[in-house]
Structure 1
Amino acid sequence: MPDPPAPSLLTEIERDLLDNVSVANVLRKLILLGGRAGSAELRDWAAQELRGYADVHVDDLPAYRKIPAIIQMDAVVGPHQVSHQTVGPHELPEEAREHITNQVPFYQGIGEIQAMIDGSGEGKTVRISLPGSAYSRT
Structure 2
Amino acid sequence: MRATGGGGRAGRWTAGLTAAAAVTLTLAGPGVHAASAASGCPGHQVRAVGFATGQLRVYRSGQYVCAVAVAKKPGARRQMSVELQVRGGRPVVDSGRFTRLAGPVKVRAANRCVRAVGAVSGGKGASGWFLC
The bucket for the TM-score relative to the shorter chain is: under 0.3
User: TM (normalized to structure 2)?
Assistant: 0.22
User: TM (normalized to structure 1)?
Assistant: 0.22
Q: Which has the higher helix share?
A: 1
Q: Which has the higher strand share?
A: 2
